[in-house]
Amino acid sequence: MIIRTSINGIEIQLKTCEGLFSPKNVDRGTLAMLSVLNLKDDDKVLDLGCGYGVVGIYAARLIGDKNVVMADIDSVATELARENAVLNGVSGIRIVQGDAYDALDDNDFTVILTNPPYHADFSVPKKFIEKGFNRLRIGGKMYVVTKRKQWYKNKFISIFGGVRINEIDGYFVFEAEKRQSSYYRKGLARKID
């Protein structure tokens, strides 16, 4: 099936299939996350858990395909992401299959974007956030969108030392900036408003 959508004025076509996340339309949480995103031309972006590719393709349409990496554990998802990158004229996106960061050597991302599975336990988002910190440059930002607030807020504060939270359309969009090379130390936490 094909989704045709406009995200912040950018027209995108996406091939999808049953069995992948949000196969009939772009997820509202994803749209909420993209609504607060402000990419710069020199950003290096990771779309973590890319699914069929909407986030990475959107980023590539904004800043160029050579600056975007997409990763997913599901081979069907990465194959569709490749097809969708070509379909949308951004075939230079690097797309890898693997568990979270396992297939990546990069540790210089300026932006990591993810809409992790959050209906089960917290093992996947825990890994995404903790390991993501080490894949960002100083000054790099991680964006995560979920429908749950408290666990994510606590996790971001414990790793990054602070977090900005936007509530949009029933979703929480978390934005955290890496300000030092190691996880924050207890007692130095602050909430970024």
Q: Return all residues near 116 (Cβ < 8 A) that are at least 6 apart.
A: 48, 49, 124, 125, 128, 144, 146
Domains of the chain: 27-177 (3.40.50.150)
38-81 pLDDT per residue, tens: 999 999 999 999 999 999 999 999 999 999 999 999 999 999 99
- The Cα–Cα gap between 40 and 36 comes to 13
Site of tokens 């960002």: 136
* Percentage of the chain lying above the pLDDT 70 cut: 94
Q: CA-CA distances (angstroms) from residue 72 to 46, 178, 193?
A: 11, 23, 31
The whole model's pTM is what?
Answer: 0.92
Does residue 47 contact residue 70 with C-beta atoms inside 8 Å?
A: yes
